[in-house]
Amino acid sequence: MVLSQSPTLELSESQRAVLQKYLINGETTWEEVARRVARYVASAEATPEAQKFWQEKFLSILLPMKLIPGGSILANCDYGTRGLLNCFVLSTEDDIHGITKLVSDAVLTTKFRGGVGINIGSEGQKGYIRPKGSPFQDGKALGPCAVLDMVSENSKKITTGNKARRGAFLFSMDWRHPDIWEFIQAKTQSTMDAKVIKAIAEQMAALVLSTDSTEQKRQKLQELNRQLATAWVETHLNPEGKRDRRWHNANISVQLDDEFFEKLDQADERATTLWDQIANFAHDTADPGLLLIDNAKRRSPIRDFVTCTNPCGEIFLPPNSACNLGSLVLTKFVSRKADGSVEIDWQDLAETVAIATRFLDNVLNVSEFATPDQKQNVRHVFRQLGLGIMGWADYLKLAHIPYDGIEHLDEIDRWGNWIAEHAYRASEAIAEEKGACGIWSKISDVRTGNLFERWVDSEGNRYNGREALSSRRQDLTQVPRRNSTVLSIAPTGSIAQLAACSWAFEPDFGLTVWKQVYVDASKNEQNWIQILNPYLEDLGLSEPDSEIVKRTGSLQGTDFAEANPDIARSFKIAREVPPGWHILVQSKWQDWIDSSISKTINLPGHATVAEIKQIYRLAQKAGLKGVTVYRSGTLESEPIKVGSEEKA
């Protein structure tokens, strides 16, 4: 049996649906979008000749969808605010002026299509806000959670261009902060209220059939109404006036460092209690996740400056810095040979990586910004990029490699090394031409151990990052780069749908999924569309097997899986992959990423709190920079559903 590549330029209904988000000024096709983007990004070049040359180079990777830029680049190139960057981090001083500026900057950044990460540090750290109830000259402090309320509420619905955009945030807090207990349970408010209201409603229904006297019924009803009113006191409303969770537009994470885990191992009461509650709340609401800050800093070229990640967690950023994203569609470099094996066009991939790096670097110079501080840090100081991947699960299907197999880890090394090496060499080449990033003098001696770094000693000998880290030589200098960080793996939800490929390096969420897409983003109107995995057609499934896959989103239980177990293993979906393998795969990809990775460990509905604790601890020990779990059915409204009757 032979699997063929899925076509991408003949757009499917699913692709056309997501393309609507990026069409402007009468555009109707992907080619028109690609040409607009290529032309605008190439305008960063110094001469008309260079602009024309690079416009054609950019178009050569955009038009066939070898690279798909982040959504903000597609939507805002030469349009609207011209804010092209997806990810920002903000911070504040602990005074009314700083807090007011934080709220204002968050709203403005949302207007420019940027998501925002905000970290509340502990005392002495960047972004510290004094605990709730702390006395000061004019009264008592409202505390950091109230500040985050203001950020969330003021960014609920911002219009950018002709489209409504709700602010997207990552709120994180250092585990030492006294208000950490309020912070970690912020997402439980709506869940708890819903349970209370359901119980009250049931009691009211039972009261109708009760044999109590009229006066007893009246008193009980009065008490139930009082409880009902109390249950609604702390609820939050979305822009349409409907009930919503607190910080409805934010993911939340706790920043844990090495000291926390040392205390946890010592059975420290505060650390143990916090650990238990984090796991319990994550089980109930999927929040909080963990930002493992010391793990992140060890491998970061800008370790002394980062404070937080963007909303999806794929990049650690300093305050007022940003990352612009673009993802390589890996299946574009894979073909099937006559004997059924797969062949990779490594040279085409190398050339695409070099062009993509130049493309993203140019984006920094043509993007507009919400604040002068952002413009300064992004263009003139850090110049961070986020070149990533998608379509990895599709490649595994083509090559018949199971997600939970040793061969998979070897493949990550093969691809990751190639991409990272060529991306770093490209950034070095641009630095020779245009100059290194402004922060270079402060980070050039940071030894991270990342293999793809290049160092030189006074005798001209070359070293990779790992060799430099282990070397005692003091005369090593790092080859200058245009960009302080270059590599990141974003979640790629919408752009993966646009390219008709799998998300990032995630296993398929389901072989049949239903996804919400915008019909009219300006009116916030959405619709559900069914997306069938394009590789299913090549399996030649029988009608009964097809019905099973459509119903459950999985090959499990089909005659095909029983007859072709090796192929079926490479079609495993996320909930069928053991959690440990999710962590191993993320850890292996992290070896080839200088920033971070967005990855969710999807769990079946029956997953336990104890299992979540095990996953979180394994992630810390594996050196992961962050970890998030999602237990199936946790949220009442899920933007993606597997099949029509997902089995937990």
Gap between the Cα atoms of 167 and 171, Å rounded = 12
pLDDT attached to residue 274:
97
Helix 144-154 and helix 96-111, axial crossing angle in degrees, nearest 10 = 30
Q: Identify whether 529 is part of a domain.
A: no
User: What is the rounded average pLDDT of the residues 2-22?
Assistant: 71
Number of H helices, E strands in the chain: 24, 26
Coil vs helix vs strand at 365? helix
Statement to judge: residues 250 and 169 lie in one domain? yes
Coil vs helix vs strand at 515? strand
CB 390 within 8 A of CB 495: yes
Statement to judge: residues 210 and 294 lie in one domain? no
CB 390 within 8 A of CB 503: yes
pLDDT attached to residue 141:
86
Statement to judge: residues 111 and 164 lie in one domain? yes
CB 264 within 8 A of CB 271: yes
pLDDT attached to residue 435:
98
pLDDT band at 177 (very low <50, low <70, confident <90, very high): very high
Statement to judge: residues 209 and 176 lie in one domain? no
Query: Virtual CA dihedral for 72, 628, 574, 614, nearest 10 degrees?
Result: 170
Q: How many CB atoms lie within 10 A of CB 639?
A: 12
Gap between the Cα atoms of 384 and 320, Å rounded = 12
Q: Where are the beta strands (DSSP E) in 380-510?
A: 385-390, 454-456, 462-464, 477-478
Statement to judge: residues 144 and 91 lie in one domain? yes
Higher pLDDT, 529 or 173: 173
pLDDT band at 636 (very low <50, low <70, confident <90, very high): low
Token readout for 267 is: 């059975």
pLDDT attached to residue 118:
97
Q: Identify whether 132 is part of a domain.
A: yes
Q: Identify whether 582 is part of a domain.
A: no
Q: Identify whether 357 is part of a domain.
A: no
pLDDT attached to residue 516:
65
Gap between the Cα atoms of 191 and 284, Å rounded = 8
Q: Identify whether 317 is part of a domain.
A: no
User: What is the rounded average pLDDT of the residues 600-624?
Assistant: 93
Statement to judge: residues 179 and 199 lie in one domain? no
pLDDT digits (tens, 9 = 90+) for 261-282: 999 999 999 999 999 999 999 9
Statement to judge: residues 183 and 274 lie in one domain? yes
pLDDT beyond 70 at 523: no
Query: What mean pLDDT, rounded, does the chain reach?
Result: 88
pLDDT band at 157 (very low <50, low <70, confident <90, very high): low
Gap between the Cα atoms of 551 and 645, Å rounded = 6
Gap between the Cα atoms of 647 and 205, Å rounded = 32
Coil vs helix vs strand at 508? strand
pTM for this entry: 0.88
Statement to judge: residues 110 and 183 lie in one domain? yes
Question: Strand 316-317 to strand 308-309: parallel, antiparallel, or no bridges (unpaired)?
Answer: antiparallel
Q: Identify whether 228 is part of a domain.
A: yes
Looking at the chain, the whole-number percentage of residues with pLDDT higher than 70 is 87
pLDDT attached to residue 249:
83
pLDDT band at 3 (very low <50, low <70, confident <90, very high): very low
Q: Identify whether 95 is part of a domain.
A: yes
Among residues 284, 328, 257, 248, the alpha carbon closest in space to that of 495 is found at: 328
Q: Identify whether 199 is part of a domain.
A: yes
pLDDT attached to residue 499:
95
Statement to judge: residues 158 and 264 lie in one domain? yes
pLDDT band at 397 (very low <50, low <70, confident <90, very high): very high
Question: Strand 462-464 to strand 454-456: parallel, antiparallel, or no bridges (unpaired)?
Answer: antiparallel
pLDDT beyond 70 at 226: no
Gap between the Cα atoms of 142 and 224, Å rounded = 31
pLDDT attached to residue 310:
92
CB 73 within 8 A of CB 84: yes
Statement to judge: residues 91 and 230 lie in one domain? no
pLDDT attached to residue 1:
40
- What is the tally of structural domains in the chain? 3
Statement to judge: residues 294 and 180 lie in one domain? yes
Tally of residues, the chain? 648
Q: Which domain holds residue 475?
A: 453-479
pLDDT attached to residue 162:
47
